[in-house]
Chains A and B, each alone.
Chain A
Amino acid sequence: MTITATGLRKSFGDHLVLDGITLDVPRGTVFSLLGANGAGKTTTVRILSTLLAADAGTVRVAGHDLVREPDAVRAAIGVTGQFSAVDRLLTGFENLMLMADLHHLRRADGRRRAAELLDRFGLTDAAGKPVSTYSGGMLRRIDLAMTLVGSPQVIFLDEPTTGLDPRSRRDMWRIVRDLVAGGVTVLLTTQYLAEADELADRIAVLDGGRIVAEGSPEELKRRIPGGHVRLRFADPRGRDAASGVLEESFAESDPLALRVPSDGSLPALRALIGRLDDHHVDVDELSVHTPDLDDVFLALTHGKAHTR
């Protein structure tokens, strides 16, 4: 295991942020922490990357104890956070050289590494421009390039694509896949199910500071019904009748609508419609929705988390 965390707890004042997080990440894999804002993703990353001390729990990263050997952990990791960790007054090349110097690379090696990373991230043309002139996607790329200068074994990516346009997001996904192909271990946080699905070997769903589910994307999808069916009725009577028949259904913000977990397959739809017909419930509208993060939370937290 490259990252092992056991029973991590953290409170800020009387606000409990992490309530016993345990996770194991094998070498050379991508582990994704999936959760909404405030679920505890960033706090977990801050603890694992030595920025924040946990109140309780033990962590080993790359074979080193986080509390006893923080410098050994720091030597093994690279962190790219939500907010760009770059020097805006320096150029892209100078930012990379700053990292090379701090990793004590020889001057020539540093230059070679910087040039190689600029090329790999498509930033060679912008190398001489101050980073303050970079676009959002370029900023994330130079940020990640800086993380890679020291060839870390473990990389923490905290919401690496939040706020990026679809194209830049796809670029970032490609970069992460290349990294893992090179043997690096990645811990990635995201609020997008699609991103976790795309990149992760294992996903932990984080909610209210606890891991409510963990598994491979396939395992989770099996546990989470593949999306939901939304039913809308002509009047409240129809809705009430339907919610009596369909015990697995949830209320929607629309008082005339119901949400029914379902994989959206033909047999499932046929069965659903059959049950409604059997009880003579009239449906005004029916629509099938593919899974999103809301469905994951609904299914895994039995609606408790769905208070938004």
Chain B
Amino acid sequence: MTTMSLAARDSSTMLRRNLKRMIRYPSMTVVLIGMPVVFLLLFVYVFGGTMGAGLGGGRGDYIDYVTPAILLMTVMSAVQGTAISVAMDMTEGIITRFRTMHIARVSVLTGHVLGSMIQAALAVVAVLAVALLVGFRPDAGPLGWLAFAGFLAAVTFAFVWLCVGIGLASGSVETASNAPMPLILLPFLGSGFAPTDSMPAAVRWFAEYQPFTPIIETLRGLLMDRPLGNDPWIALAWCAVVALTGYLWSKRRFTRS
């Protein structure tokens, strides 16, 4: 068997293992989906009226504005789960066993990556369903939805690898669950919940140049069928950097320890 097909086969075995573990330990998935749903309801029903008025419309306009940010938050919540489950896994003896076996080593990590991507996709679908239920009205056509799915998958892929690295480096489950917190908070310091031009100069400068703003703008553009400008390319460049950093970091941590 070639190295590549060996890696693919072992990765799919590890993916099956991770999916089984998710099913056996469902509380994590519930929390990961629950948090963005709570935020969605909070922003729509508590802040929505005022925020919508600020945008020059009503609650309905704000639902359309905030949902892309909530969907990104869903992905970040899911990848936080990746960091936790990787850290949990590293405390288990079975990882030591894997290291003494003739398997593609990276498959232990790719199993987590693929499992988390599936988990994130399910979470996004669930949160999207709630958003549609409370009045989200996207204008995307079939092609727009396809592009949205592909783009969000790329974002998820990048941040999952970053969180695998965080999970490996953190050394304890507690650290692993706290370390990805900035990923949840960064959408707030961007164009996720309010337009950046309403912010004071220093915050606005940060908001316009941090990676989450072009990601959110792209998601918003795709869902609401608006012109995208350069945002998708800037966002994808960020994703490539995050993915590569995360992958190299994870690989180094995993082969070393």
> Which residues does A use to contact B, with CB under 8 Å?
49-51, 71-72, 74-75, 77-79, 81, 83-90, 94, 98, 101-102, 104, 130, 146-147, 150
Contact = CB atoms under 8 A, between A and B. Distances in A.
Given A51-B99, A75-B102, A101 B13 contact: yes
B99 A89 contact: no
Given A89-B25, A102-B13, A83 B101 contact: no
Interface residues of B, number: 21
B97 A130 contact: no
A74 B102 contact: yes
Contacts of B100: 49-51, 74, 77-79
A49 B94 CA distance: 14
Contacts, number: 58
Contacts of A87: 17, 21, 92, 94
Contact of A85 (B1, B25, B93): B93
B11 to A, nearest CB: 11
Given A86-B93, A87-B21, A87-B94, A50 B13 contact: no
B9 interface: yes
A130 B24 contact: yes
B99 A98 contact: no
Interface of B: 1, 9-10, 13, 16-17, 20-21, 24-25, 92-94, 96-103
- Main secondary structure, interface of B, reads helix
A104 B9 contact: yes
A102 B25 CA distance: 23
Contacts of B1: 104
B24 A89 contact: yes
Contacts of A102: 10, 13, 98, 101, 103
Residue in B9, B17, B24, B94 with the greatest tally of chain A CB atoms within 10 Å: B94
A144 to B, nearest CB: 11
B97 A85 contact: yes
11 contacts: A71-B102, A81-B93, A81-B97, A85-B94, A87-B94, A88-B92, A89-B24, A89-B25, A102-B10, A102-B98, A102-B101
A86 B9 contact: no
A234 to B, nearest CB: 54
Given A98-B13, A102-B13, 12 more contacts: A50-B99, A51-B99, A81-B96, A83-B96, A86-B93, A87-B92, A88-B92, A89-B21, A89-B24, A90-B24, A102-B101, A146-B97
Contact of A90 (B9, B13, B17): B17
Contacts of A130: 24
A51 B1 CA distance: 24
Contacts of A77: 100
A280 to B, nearest CB: 61
A81 B94 CA distance: 10
Contacts of B13: 98, 101-102
A98 B17 contact: yes
Contacts of A150: 101
A130 B24 CA distance: 9
Nearest to A84: B93
A101 B101 CA distance: 12
A18 B13 CA distance: 37
Nearest to A49: B100
Nearest to B13: A101
A85 B96 contact: yes
Nearest to B20: A90
A94 B102 contact: no
Nearest to A52: B99
Contacts of A90: 17, 20-21, 24
Contacts of A104: 1, 9
Contacts of B99: 50-51
B93 A94 contact: no
A64 to B, nearest CB: 11
B84 to A, nearest CB: 14
Contacts of A146: 97
A141 to B, nearest CB: 15
Nearest to B96: A85
B94 A86 contact: yes
Nearest to A95: B94
B92 A51 contact: no
Nearest to A104: B9
A83 B16 CA distance: 24
Lowest 10 A-B CB distances belong to which pairs?
A85-B97, A75-B102, A85-B93, A74-B102, A101-B13, A89-B24, A79-B100, A83-B93, A49-B100, A89-B21
A38 B20 CA distance: 38
B4 to A, nearest CB: 14
A205 B101 CA distance: 28
B74 to A, nearest CB: 24
A78 B94 CA distance: 13
Contacts of A71: 102
B228 to A, nearest CB: 43
